[in-house]
Structure 1
Amino acid sequence: MTAAGFVFGWAYWLLLAVALQRLVELWRAQRNTRRLLARGGREVGREHYPLIVALHAAWLLTLALLTAPEPPVHWGLIGLFALLQVLRIWVLTTLGPYWTTRIITIDDAPLRRQGPYRFLRHPNYVVVALEIPLLALILDLPVVALVFGLLNLLVLWMRIRIENQALAARRVANGMIG
């Protein structure tokens, strides 16, 4: 499709799909956050949340600005990205009404041990840590993959420390020492 010489190739359709997915997830996260706070939940680590939002917005914007409409197709990377989306859905469905993009904790709520949480403490962060550089590699932008992959790891390192501190008391109360 062209408009004034602009070609809207498969890469832009992929970026549009990812952006729409993120918007739907933000809507769901805000809804869940409101419900959790109404049940007596409390937010932890609020001060770093704008950094996460800015990082993800800058990542998508950078991809949109630097992507060629028809970069080389890397089917293996696309398949891996699709698998990560299945894992993302598994995390979201496992957490259900407890999934948000913020750290909301309710003291008496049980910690999830089902789904991917049987294997990893933070499976959603593993998905995000992989998909940020992977999408850039799919779009043939290795420097963007490296820069945003490293920035995201730095933010996740900070976030996981804050989240682990918030959940430590609940782990002890639920018999999950450590």
Structure 2
Amino acid sequence: MPVDAPRPSAWRLLLIFSRIGLTSFGGGLSGWLLREFVQDRNWLSEEEFLNGLALSQALPGVNVKNMAIWIGFKLAGPAGAIAGFMGIIVPPAFIIVLMAVAFSKLTDYPLTSIALAGAAAAAIGLSASMAITAARRVPRRAFPLLCLAATFLAVGIFHWPLLWVVLGAGALSVAVEYRRLSSGEGI
């Protein structure tokens, strides 16, 4: 966080995460978080955000929930982590229950399918934006590209179990990166 930027309160984080959770859904939430905390508010650097995103994706559970907890903790400590979790989960969960009741009444109308298709397209666009931002920052080295290709082949072509491929490739990647960093290369 920039030195001169005021630290947000847990209450402010709760309101921000609630707004994000209530106004977006699907895979595009990471894009909203990037825009909100890095681009608009300058509370996190792009590198910090991408490191947090990588950690959130590596941990079990929902990526966006993990990211909200990480951002909240990074910006406002334990109270911020609780605010991030509560803001991204509770208000949307309440709305989902209400929408499920209403949606069961609207499934007969064609406009419902059109609206959902439009929302899906927006979520795909936000996910693509996030992927492009992350791809621009990834160093172009042979080993990460080799891991990418090997993972694609193992899961996409050979249909090996995702869990074992990710665990194996992840462990190998961490070991190689640890060795590279501890040798002083690329620090």
> How would you bin the TM-score normalised by the shorter chain?
under 0.3
Please say which structure displays the higher CA radius of gyration. 2
Which structure has the highest strand share of the two? Answer: 1
Q: Using CA pairs under 8 Å that are at least 6 residues apart, name the structure with larger relative contact order, 1 or 2.
A: 1
* TM-score, with length taken from structure 2: 0.26
